[in-house]
């Protein structure tokens, strides 16, 4: 069964991904494409409907995004949002003006025709979020106004051409009934079936992988995190023993992680895993290194070397490896094709691993259409344990970027103990799932303490807990005093070598989540 798809063309709005999410929440598949995508590519997807996003430009700007006006004549229903509305008006013969008053923030919209399909079931007055400078002055022939705000026209339609457009943003939560409007578009106007469920996704993905791979052999690097685990389980469901997973102990994993990931994925889910304990190789590379970027680079290079060795061995045993599974997610895909400019690199190597260049394997990316929470939903449907699916993000270079100064086996062991206490206490306070990341950092700062009658001189642990949506920005979490108290007292009492605990109260920006 073909997947019904709503195509969203991205004109550069910061809310574009939200439109996709709102649609997917209704069990309808949607993809975001740059607005400059060739018409043929849109047609090839056989879209059920098209949404034109907002964007920062004015249609009269010299550098206004160069979308093909042919998108308005595909014959499928179109919904323009903000800039999308201006695009429609401008390219169909109307006039867009610079509004006398910029409208930004909460606004009230008066619906003028409540029989309009877009507004079915909505009240006559809508609370909405506006964010625009331009507005529609003169409508193109065949269009009529169906809603207004105090300062501007708020919605238009041309039923014959199947084109609708709104000046406000139905996708943001500041437009409380916006989801209903989007539902009206995808169900009442586009006629979506709402059958894009986890079960549907799993079935179609598994079939597609089987068809592509045939009798080929596939390898997958497991990190123990959500994405690579779900990707591996999906591929395993498709091709079983043709998949070999490689799980590398880089010496800077969390306490017991090397064993527990194997137990979860091999014993509980039946994956074929080659577990490589390369701790010594990695720790030898890290000896004497204190610079954060050098740590990342050494770990990255060593990972590729170890992975390469294992892949070569597997290729010898199986008669050749053809494919590599990667847990790429949708936000990475959009990010790399978006119309926005490149952002500055603050830390290199956010994804340790990657394709060993000389192997030139073909890629399987079963999650490249999904957002993180959708990956978790799929994982649940695949019967994966919550302790994998609910896991907080963990950086590729692991504890190495949480040990300031040199990474030695002794320091790794100290941090593993402290980290385990932080995670255990956060979990027992019922906070683990609502926090983006919570962990300990080992500082190379020694201070004096007293234990019993003994003077101590030992390291400091910093505790960090942050709330975040995507890791790009973050707020420090005000952990309850009781939880902080237990964490501090347990670390100082149970971890010999740490005698002081401090709490990091820095948000991002200006801080970063990891200390290195």
Catalytic residues: 82, 169, 171
How far is 69 from 87, CA to CA, in rounded Å? 9
Binding test (CB under 6 A) with ligand XMP, winner from 102, 144, 350, 362? 350
Q: Which is nearer to ligand XMP, 119 or 303 (CB)?
A: 303
Shortest distance in whole angstroms from residue 509 CB to ligand XMP: 9
How far is 91 from 56, CA to CA, in rounded Å? 18
Stretch near ligand XMP under the rule CB under 6 A, chosen from 52-60, 325-333, 343-351, 412-420: 343-351
Binding test (CB under 6 A) with ligand XMP, winner from 49, 224, 379, 396? 396
Quick one: which H or E segment has residue 469? none
- Determine if 224 is a binding residue for ligand XMP (CB under 6 A): no
Quick one: which H or E segment has residue 3? none
- Determine if 47 is a binding residue for ligand XMP (CB under 6 A): no
Binding test (CB under 6 A) with ligand XMP, winner from 242, 397, 403, 487? 397
How far is 376 from 383, CA to CA, in rounded Å? 11
Q: Which is nearer to ligand XMP, 140 or 396 (CB)?
A: 396
Query: Residues 168, 149: contact at Cβ < 8 Å?
Result: yes
What percent of the residues of the chain are helix, what percent strand, and what percent coil, each to the nearest 5?
35, 25, 40
- Determine if 437 is a binding residue for ligand XMP (CB under 6 A): yes
- Determine if 512 is a binding residue for ligand XMP (CB under 6 A): yes
Q: Which is nearer to ligand XMP, 153 or 513 (CB)?
A: 513
DSSP state of 143: -
- Determine if 509 is a binding residue for ligand XMP (CB under 6 A): no
Shortest distance in whole angstroms from residue 472 CB to ligand XMP: 7
Buried b (16+ CB within 10 A) or exposed e, 144-153: eebbbbebbb
Q: Which is nearer to ligand XMP, 143 or 515 (CB)?
A: 515
DSSP state of 76: S
- Determine if 351 is a binding residue for ligand XMP (CB under 6 A): yes
Shortest distance in whole angstroms from residue 431 CB to ligand XMP: 17
CB under 8 Å to 272, separation ≥6 — which residues?
236, 241, 243, 244, 245, 266
H runs (alpha helix) in 45-120: 83-91
Shortest distance in whole angstroms from residue 507 CB to ligand XMP: 10
Chain residues in the site for ligand XMP (CB under 6 A)? 296, 346-347, 349-352, 393, 395-397, 401, 437, 471, 508, 512-514
């Amino acid at each position: 069964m073909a997947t019904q798809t709503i195509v969203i063309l991205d004109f550069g709005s910061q809310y574009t991904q939200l439109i996709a999410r709102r649609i997917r929440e209704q069990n309808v598949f949607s993809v975001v494409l740059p607005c400059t995508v060739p018409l043929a590519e849109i047609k090839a997807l056989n879209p059920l409907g098209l949404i034109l996003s907002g964007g920062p430009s004015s249609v009269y700007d010299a550098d206004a995004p160069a979308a093909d006006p042919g998108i308005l004549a595909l014959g499928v229903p179109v919904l323009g949002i903000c800039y999308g509305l201006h695009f429609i008006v401008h390219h169909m013969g109307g006039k867009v003006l610079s509004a006398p008053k910029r409208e930004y923030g909460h606004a009230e919209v008066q619906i003028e025709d409540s029989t309009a399909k877009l507004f079915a079931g909505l009240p006559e007055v809508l609370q909405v979020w506006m964010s625009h400078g331009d507005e529609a002055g003169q409508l193109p022939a065949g269009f009529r106004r169906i809603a207004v705000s105090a300062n501007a026209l708020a919605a238009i339609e041309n039923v014959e051409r199947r084109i609708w457009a709104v000046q406000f943003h139905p996708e943001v939560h500041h437009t409380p009934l916006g989801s209903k409007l989007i539902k009206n578009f995808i169900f009442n106007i586009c006629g979506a079936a709402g059958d894009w469920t986890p079960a549907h996704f799993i079935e179609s993905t598994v079939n597609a992988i089987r068809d592509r791979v045939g009798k080929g052999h596939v390898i997958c690097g497991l990190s123990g995190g959500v994405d690579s685990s779900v990707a591996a389980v999906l591929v395993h469901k498709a091709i079983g023993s043709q998949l070999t997973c490689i799980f590398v102990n880089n010496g800077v994993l969390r306490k017991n992680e090397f064993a527990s990931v194997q137990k979860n994925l091999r014993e509980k889910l039946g994956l074929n895993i080659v577990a490589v304990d390369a701790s010594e190789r990695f720790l030898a590379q890290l000896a004497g290194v204190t610079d954060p970027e050098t740590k990342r680079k050494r770990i990255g290079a060593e990972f590729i070397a170890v992975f390469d060795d294992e892949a070569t061995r597997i290729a010898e045993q199986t008669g050749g490896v053809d494919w590599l599974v990667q847990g790429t997610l949708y936000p990475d895909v959009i990010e790399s094709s978006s119309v926005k400019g490149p952002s500055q690199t603050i830390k290199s190597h956010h994804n340790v691993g990657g394709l060993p260049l000389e192997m030139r394997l073909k890629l399987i990316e079963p999650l490249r259409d999904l957002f993180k929470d959708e990956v978790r939903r799929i994982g649940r449907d695949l019967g994966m344990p919550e302790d994998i699916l609910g896991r907080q993000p963990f950086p590729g270079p692991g504890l190495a970027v949480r040990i300031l100064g040199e990474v030695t086996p002794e320091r790794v062991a100290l941090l593993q103990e402290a980290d385990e206490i932080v995670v255990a206490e956060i979990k027992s306070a019922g906070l683990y799932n609502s926090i983006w990341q919570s962990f300990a950092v080992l500082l190379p700062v020694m201070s004096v303490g007293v234990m019993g009658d003994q003077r101590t001189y030992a390291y400091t642990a910093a505790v960090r807990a942050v709330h975040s949506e995507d890791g790009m920005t973050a707020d420090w979490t005000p952990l309850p005093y009781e939880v902080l108290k237990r964490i501090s007292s347990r670390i100082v009492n149970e971890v010999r070598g740490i005698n002081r605990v401090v709490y990091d109260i820095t948000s991002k920006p200006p801080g970063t989540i990891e200390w290195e």
